[in-house]
Amino acid sequence: MRLSTLFPLATLAALCSARFSGSAMEGLEEAANFQAEQLDRMRSFLGPSQASEPQLQKREPIMTFKNPKAKQFHVDGTKLPDVNFDAGDSWAGLMPISSDPHETRKLFFWFWPTTNASNKNDLLFWTNGGPGCSSLEGFLQENGPISWSWGQSEPTPNPFAWTQLANVVWVEQPVGTGFSQGVPNITNDDELAAQAVGFLGQFLDVFEELKGSDFWLSGESYAGFYVPYIANFIYEHPGLALNLHGIWIADPSLSWGLVQQEIPALRFALAHKDLFPFNASFYAQLQNISDTCGFTDYLDDFVTYPPKGQLPLPVGATINNETLAVGVRADCRMHSPIQREVSILNPAFDVYRVSDTFPTLWSVIGFPESTQQFVYFNRTDVQDAIHAPHIDWVTCSDGSVYTNATRNGPGRDTSVASMLSVMPNVIEKSVRTVVVHGLADFILVAEGTRIAIQNMTWNGLQGFQTPIEPDSFIVDNMGNFGNLHQERGLTYVEFSYSGHMTPQFVPWAAFQTISFLLGKRDSPSGTF
Ligand SMILES: *[C@@H]1O[C@H](CO)[C@@H](O)[C@H](O)[C@H]1NC(C)=O
Ligand SMILES: *[C@@H]1O[C@H](CO)[C@@H](O)[C@H](O)[C@H]1NC(C)=O
Ligand SMILES: *[C@@H]1O[C@H](CO)[C@@H](O)[C@H](O)[C@H]1NC(C)=O
Ligand SMILES: *[C@@H]1O[C@H](CO)[C@@H](O)[C@H](O)[C@H]1NC(C)=O
Ligand SMILES: *[C@@H]1O[C@H](CO)[C@@H](O)[C@H](O)[C@H]1NC(C)=O
Ligand SMILES: *[C@@H]1O[C@H](CO)[C@@H](O)[C@H](O)[C@H]1NC(C)=O
Ligand SMILES: *[C@@H]1O[C@H](CO)[C@@H](O)[C@H](O)[C@H]1NC(C)=O
Ligand SMILES: *[C@@H]1O[C@H](CO)[C@@H](O)[C@H](O)[C@H]1NC(C)=O
């Protein structure tokens, strides 16, 4: 592995110090020194750098499985295309969601045993969101043992792999996602949960050594629906041979779009004004909409600690008479006009991390930007290595993963968002529940998550009773990294420097919070 291909900073620092040495501009010399120190720190927390020779000698397996059926899923960590280190043994393939021998619906999974033998009894489930986005995105670019993130020329070992803390299974779900097979036929997330639990039952029949494991569910984005609903289903339908203890969701969908996108949108743009450099007349137009629709003072008036009562809907809200779903009046839309306008001003604008600038980094999975390069999981050699079917693989499926029972065609999720439905029960039945949110995420805005939390009643009280203290989240050996609050079983953390995919953008911070979820540390916050 060549660190310099990962971190062009090295070259930059070298260039600067050469160019400015001996010059009268001390500030520039100092800046170059700081950059060099920064690079040293980066190197030291990324762990010992790999030898330039590929390390292909086999690692000793920490886990083996007796059932002969497990063999067909085995993946040799020295034989993954383009991975020039031994990633270790893993197991992948398609697993039916029921014991019916004619079952056509199968979920694709990739299971990795922990690299730390003392965590062998811990199993963590990961799903991406979408709906319809593949969990292999999380695997390869967020929290898996192999990291091939945006802009990386080649895959590298991930020093923040969650497999250090537990056995981890990445699952492409629901049916209709990634390599998973079968015709989608769910209309809501209880049905989604039933299928995920059906899958887990089949999975445990093959990998029976995992039965009885301590168990946690994690995911990102639309998994803010999936994960709480799956957890709720498991708590309400005992029988799965795993001991569920809690969930972790990042930048989750968990309330109305009105709450998570529209109300906080203008405040977000104003707080990041250098990245949303609209002219005065456009800002005045936005301000007018915000004032007229009841968004401007909403957070100051209603997101109080403790809350003064149930949080009202602003005048810009609509309610569907039939489904009671809350929406936004067409003339009150804030989020789309802001995103549209900023993406004209800045062609490299990234709604998933607003601090991104030109050039847009390539992504080996073709997401969020399509690239001229190959898509890793769309290659037949990769598909063969992981027992995946030869199909056109895309990170986020084009089709719907839900059906509409009325018209018997593609549909939408009819579930009520988790913080307005199942989440209180999940928190109450869990040991730990962790919600994290990146502060540079504009697809879902952290202040919207605060609205949702303050409007939720769990363990006998509504919302947090005391304020979220600023600068209360510390990453070990780094310092202040955002805001943390914990009450009555719910932990909420806001990450600085992070967009939507927190384990990708701030792996150190995400790692600390997942480590807390799994009971490996007493507080998600660290010391500096
Ligand atoms: C392995 O996990 C145990 C228990 O979580 C922990 O105490 C130990 O420090 C870990 N070892 C390493 C090398 O990370
Ligand atoms: C989906 O299809 C399967 C197989 O035909 C059927 O058993 C199941 O009840 C269907 N599920 C739903 C939610 O319609
Ligand atoms: C201000 O910005 C808006 C939206 O970008 C644009 O349509 C308008 O022409 C701009 N006005 C001036 C005076 O630049
Ligand atoms: C605000 O918007 C309303 C409705 O679109 C419009 O009538 C009014 O002129 C606007 N006010 C300003 C100051 O732009
Ligand atoms: C707050 O919760 C109540 C009760 O579930 C609901 O009626 C109301 O619409 C919610 N408000 C917001 C802003 O979501
Ligand atoms: C919904 O209910 C409101 C108030 O009762 C009514 O004014 C409106 O026409 C109804 N909308 C539809 C689509 O039925
Ligand atoms: C995936 O591979 C197929 C051929 O194997 C190709 O037709 C398709 O365009 C590829 N898709 C992407 C997104 O690269
Ligand atoms: C299902 O389809 C019917 C008929 O096209 C439509 O009226 C309804 O809104 C759809 N439901 C959902 C949840 O999309």
How far does CA 287 lie from the centroid of its chain?
A: 32
How far does CA 428 lie from the centroid of its chain?
A: 23
C-alpha–C-alpha distance, residues 165 and 59, integer Å: 18
> Does ligand 8 lie within 6 Å of residue 406's CB atom?
yes
Report pTM: 0.93
SS3 394: coil
C-alpha–C-alpha distance, residues 500 and 441, integer Å: 5
Q: Which residue has the tokens 């990962």?
A: 6
Look up 441 and say whether it is catalytic: yes
> pLDDT tens string for the chain (528 positions)?
233 333 333 333 444 444 545 556 667 888 888 999 998 888 887 765 554 444 555 677 788 999 999 999 999 999 999 999 999 999 999 999 999 999 999 999 999 999 999 999 999 999 999 999 999 999 999 999 999 999 999 999 999 999 999 999 999 999 999 999 999 999 999 999 999 999 999 999 999 999 999 999 999 999 999 999 999 999 999 999 999 999 999 999 999 999 999 999 999 999 999 999 999 999 999 999 999 999 999 999 999 999 999 999 999 999 999 989 999 999 999 999 999 999 999 999 999 999 999 998 999 999 887 666 689 999 999 999 999 999 999 999 988 999 998 888 999 999 999 999 999 999 999 999 999 999 999 999 999 999 999 999 999 999 999 999 999 999 998 999 999 999 999 999 999 999 999 999 999 999 999 999 999 999 999 988
> Does ligand 3 lie within 6 Å of residue 282's CB atom?
yes
CA-378 nearest atom, ligand 7: 1
CA-314 nearest atom, ligand 5: 13
Ligand number nearest CA of 424 is 5
Question: Which residues contact residue 253 at a Cβ distance below 8 angstroms, ignoring those fewer than 6 apart?
Answer: 129, 221, 222, 224, 225, 260, 417, 444
C-alpha–C-alpha distance, residues 528 and 523, integer Å: 14
C-alpha–C-alpha distance, residues 491 and 489, integer Å: 7
Ligand number nearest CA of 328 is 5
Look up 251 and say whether it is catalytic: no
Peptide bond into 81 cis (omega under 30): no
Ligand number nearest CA of 104 is 2
> Does ligand 1 lie within 6 Å of residue 84's CB atom?
no
Residue 254 is encoded by which pair of tokens? 């968990």
Residue 149 is encoded by which pair of tokens? 């993130």
Burial state string for 294-310 with b = 16 or more CB within 10 A and e = fewer than 16: bbbebbeebbeeebeee
CA-116 nearest atom, ligand 1: 1
Look up 500 and say whether it is catalytic: yes
Phi, psi of 449 (to 5 degrees): -65, -35
Catalytic residue among 134, 147, 221, 363: 221
DSSP character at residue 258: I
- Within 10 angstroms of residue 278's Cβ, the number of other Cβ atoms is 17
Fold exhibited by the domain 50-528:
Rossmann fold (3.40.50)
